[in-house]
Structure 1
Amino acid sequence: MSVSGTKTKALTAALLLAVPLSVYASDREETAEAQKQQVAQTQESLKPVPLGTSSIAASGAALVATSGASVAAANKIGLVDSLQDGLEITIAATGLKAPWSMQFAGNKVYITQRGGGIIEVNDGNEKLQEVRTKKKLRVEGEAGLTGFVLDSNFAKNKYAYIYHAYEDKGQPLNRIVKVKLVNGVWREQKELLAGIPGGRIHEGGRLAIGPDGMLYATSGETNKRELSQDRSSLGGKVLRMTTSGLVPKDNPIPKSYVYAYGLRNPQGLAWTSDGTLYASDHGPSGAPIPGGGTDKTGRDEINVIKAGANYGWPLVTGTETAPGITPPAYVAGDRSIAPSGIASTPDNKILVATLAGQSLKVFDPVTKQMSDLLTGEGRIRDVAVHNGQVYVLTNNTAGGTPGPEDDRLLILK
């Protein structure tokens, strides 16, 4: 384990889930088993693994609880600076299978698995919860159960929103669904948006609720690059809707969910304290281009998302410019880092989970520089900031080299 400029301290977790899951690499991703089969095979095997010492047994409570003094200190000197001065890593959950999104409610962390189901992590205990949708989960390549965000009033209404792949008359698609947690099962309540283009790769799939109370989603162009510039298509976009699934009256295109376009495979959304929306996007992967030739490689991006803006794919990539194109805030080099989930810190830096980059990175919007914060843990799928601590989901069971405890939920402090 290697941490950039820090001392590492690893603690073990309470459970090791043994969920059988097929994994196949496909454009930085993998496939997984269908949700129903996975839940059925796993439910009987969810048994606690005793912790090694009494001092570690208390680590479950540390999952979401941190002292007021530590939070205040992190905010005062800057969360990233405090981590770089001396980083500790707590392993809060193990045995996750292709985890994708995480959300927090009280002492609980909810984590989606692409092959199906949501893992509830609560004070060191892990429980697999079924997600029952009216349309069967499609799991292939990068497609499956991905995006997940809790309703702003989840503590009272138990509502959340998921982004999942499905099939309609042989056509691969994605949709956004409102679900409710009832007796440990997430049950579909309402389909908010269906017919989002789907495929094996470039699925997008991130969900987030903005400061304006609207529901935002990222969609990929599913390797059909022409969709990104087609404003009538839902592919290769940032989408925006109410939590009831309606088109907001102030969306940039009348009667359209499209909020921004010209994206390839955006997988991260985050707002800084001033209301600026950032999104990560995968750059070209050297794939063949229709008509001959191949893409360039790398050129992954961090973009400032503005209403109605065009981010250029596939007309331009990286630092290339063209009339009417909004340039990225940051462009990686020709070697892919494959940015996925992102999160903002109290000091308005952007944490970036990277898959191919196998690191947690920090982007500074002021200096326009990106640097490593955490390395040596393999592929990183998602990152979140909660109670003054940074939470990280590894993604080594999805196209990486998994260790015996992968995948894991890590806490950095």
Structure 2
Amino acid sequence: MPMLNTKGKALTVAVLLAVPISIYAADQREHEQTVVQQTESSWEGPKLLAAAPSTSGGSTASASAAGVVPVRIAAASLTDSLQGGYDVAATQLKVPWSMQFNGDTVYITQRGGGIVEVKNGKQTVQELRTKKALRVVGEAGLTGFVLDADFAKNKYAYVYHAYEEKGKALNRIVKVKLVNGVWREQKELLAGIPGGRIHEGGRLAIGPDGMLYSTAGDANQRELSQNLSSYGGKVLRITTSGAVPKDNPFKNSYVYAYGLRNSQGLAWTSSGTLYASDHGPSGAPIPGGGTDRTGLDEINVIKPGGNYGWPTIQGTQTAPGLIPPYYVVGPQAIAPSGIAATPDNKVLVATLAGQSLKQFDPIAKTMTDVLTGEGRIRDVAVHDGKIYVLTNNTSGGSAGADDDRLLILK
């Protein structure tokens, strides 16, 4: 896989990150190898998901019924096909956070407000009108965004944004509609998600099962992550009409998984496995005294009802009933944000502190650099066989004259 150092636009051989890989139980490692190599996953989670089509073109259902283990032919590596450099599709974005695609049109949220439409080489900032005012403080603002599966026809989408109510910082998920160039709120799906200045979470995604998934940070109130009565520190699962799915793991609850700190990335591989990135403590102060261990950013395999341990365990620590991370970065924080799956079931990871786009190999348990030299990276997407990257230098970085930008890797 090549690494792109775009300051020189040179193509070089990728190097492994000098970060330690966590030691995991043998059965967990063997299981993920099976998940990636087969067309169907044996995790309990993907049983809730619609089966992804086999890249070999065969019927996985009939093969399974016949007692034959279906083995998927490996897809070509998307990152290995990169030749070097990138095209710049948009410039001077203001703290961009999430991107979505409708054909060749790209929509990008800006944390301070507004959704940027990038179409035919032109950028247009479109207004977002919500019934509760957007709260923009620290990491809070307009973040998560996902288009409805039938957006081309119905013009519906879903946004995650911060607001304030009775002096309390909160987040909510609303359904919006694009009408004459303005995104207008149609319905509030979920409100009361804890908010603050940091740890807002906010990533939205529609799963293979058609459900709406959302990450929610612990809002720097770590005790919320283990509290099933709170939405803080969770992965939430919602119908697109705002109801609790009947097959959610906790009765009458939107909570799908818990014990997370500040997850900002969700992606499914073709096997149906759901991955989530999570920010480690990075030496943060502990309320009441003390300091967390540094780094320990995570890639997790999300199972329905799973407890991922924060703040009871960190890094490679284990405890009964708690699920350790599938992969743990070492003591140097990379701050993973958006993630995206590739056709060959690798996971691309946008990193802020790491100032790079990385690729995670679930079988080898390694991370390699794909793009460096462009500063902070907030989001990544794979669309029509191309890799799109959103830089994030206007928030905590060293912004250039054209920052922030939407890049298309070549």
The alignment's TM-score, normalised by the length of structure 1, stands at 0.82
Q: What corresponds to 1:98 in structure 2? A: 95
Q: For the Cα contact (< 8 Å) 2:88–2:408, is it kept in 1?
A: yes
| CA positional deviation for 1:290 | 2.9
Query: How far apart are the structure 1 equivalents of 2:106 and 2:287?
Result: 43
Deviations 1:69-105 (A, max 9, x none): xxxxxx953102212xx22311110000000000000
Output the amino acid matched with 2:133.
K
1:215 maps to 212
1:112 to 109, 112, 116: 109
- The equivalent residue for 2:409 is 412
Structure 2: unaligned runs, 5 residues or longer = 11-73
Q: Conserved in 2, the CA contact under 8 Å of 1:4 and 1:372?
A: no
Report matched runs for 1:194-213 at 5 Å: 194-213=191-210
Return the alpha-carbon distance in structure 2 between the equivalents of residues 6 and 107 of structure 1.
27
The answer to whether 1:143 aligns with 2:144 is: no
The aligned counterpart of 1:255 is 252
Residue number in structure 2 paired with 1:77: 76
Q: Give CA-to-partner distance per residue, 1:291-339, whole Å, 9 cap, x none.
A: 3211111000000000000001000111111111111111011111000
Which residue type is aligned with residue 239 of structure 2?
Answer: T
Aligned-pair CA distance for 1:111: 0.1
Distance change in 2, residues 1:90/1:5 (3 Å): closer
Runs of 4 or more off by more than 6 Å in structure 1? none
Aligned equivalents of 1:314 and 1:327: distance in 2?
A: 12
Structure 2 Cα separation of the partners of residues 93 and 347 of structure 1: 28
Relative to structure 1, is the Cα distance of residues 76 and 219 closer, same or farther in structure 2, using a 3 angstrom cutoff?
closer
Deviation at 1:5, TM superposition (A): 10
Q: Please give the secondary structure, in 2, of the residue aligned with 1:127.
A: strand
Q: What CA deviation, in whole Å up to 9, does each residue of 1:243-273 have, x standing for no partner?
A: 0000000000000000000000000000000
Secondary structure of 2:153's counterpart equals: helix
User: For 1:133-282, what aligned pairs fall within 5 Å after superposition?
Assistant: 133-282=130-279
**Contact conserved, 2:393 with 2:399, CA < 8 A, in 1?**
yes
The one-letter amino acid paired with 1:125 is: K
User: Is contact 1:6-1:87 (8 Å) kept?
Assistant: no
Asked whether the equivalents of residues 211 and 238 of structure 2 are also in contact (C-alpha less than 8 Å), the reply is yes
- Which range is displaced more, 86-95 or 203-212? 86-95
Equivalent runs, 1:342-353 vs 2, <5 Å: 342-353=339-350
Match of 2:286 among 289, 292, 302: 289
Cα distance in 2 between the residues matched to 1:389 and 1:6: 20
Measure how far apart 1:107 and its partner are: 1.7
Equivalent residues of 1:115, 1:144 under 8 A apart = yes
CA contact (8 A) 2:6 2:86 kept: no
Aligned position for 2:399 = 402
SS of residue paired to 2:80:
helix
State TM-score, norm by structure 2: 0.83
Among 298, 303, 315, the residue aligned to 1:301: 298
- Per the TM alignment, residue 194 of structure 1 is displaced from its structure 2 partner at its CA by 0.2
My pick for the range that moved more, 352-361 or 283-292, is 283-292
Question: Which secondary structure does the structure 1 equivalent of 2:213 belong to?
Answer: strand
Report if aligned partners of 1:7, 1:87 keep a CA contact under 8 Å in 2. no
1:277-302 deviation digits (Å, cap 9, x = unpaired): 00000000222223321111100000
2:376 alignment partner AA: R
Distance in 1 (alpha carbons) for counterparts of 2:202 and 2:246: 24
Counterpart amino acid of 2:336?
P
State the partner residue of 2:307. Answer: 310
* Paired letter, 1:101: S
Q: 1:76 to 1:316 in 2, by over 3 A?
A: closer
Counterpart CA distance in 2 for 1:4 and 1:372 is 10
Q: Residues 32-51 of structure 1: CA distance to partner in whole angstroms, max 9, x if unpaired?
A: xxxxxxxxxxxxxxxxxxxx
Secondary structure at the counterpart of residue 224 of structure 2: helix
Secondary structure of 1:77's aligned partner: coil
- Which AA in structure 1 matches 2:81? S
For each residue in 1:94-138, what CA deviation from the matched residue of structure 2 results, as whole angstroms up to 9, or x when unmatched?
A: 000000000000220000000000000001100000000000000
Q: Report the Cα distance in structure 2 between the residues aligned to 1:194 and 1:383, rounded to whole angstroms.
A: 27
Q: Secondary structure at the match of 1:156?
A: helix
Q: Match of 1:200, as an amino acid?
A: R
Measure how far apart 1:209 and its partner are: 0.1
Is 1:381 aligned to residue 369 of structure 2? Answer: no
Q: Structure 2: how far apart are the matches of 1:107 and 1:148?
A: 17
Name the amino acid aligned to 1:394.
T
- Counting aligned pairs with the same residue, the percent is 75
- Describe the SS at the equivalent of 2:4: coil
> Which of residues 326, 329, 333 in structure 2 aligns to 1:332?
329
- The question of 1:8 aligning with 2:9 is answered yes
Matched residue type, 2:241: S
Give the secondary-structure state (helix, strand or coil) at the position aligned to 1:266: coil
> Secondary structure of 2:242's partner?
coil
Offset of residue 169 of structure 1? 0.5
Counterpart for residue 35 of structure 1: none
Alignment partner, residue 61 of structure 1: none
**2-side partners of 1:82 and 1:331: how far apart?**
27
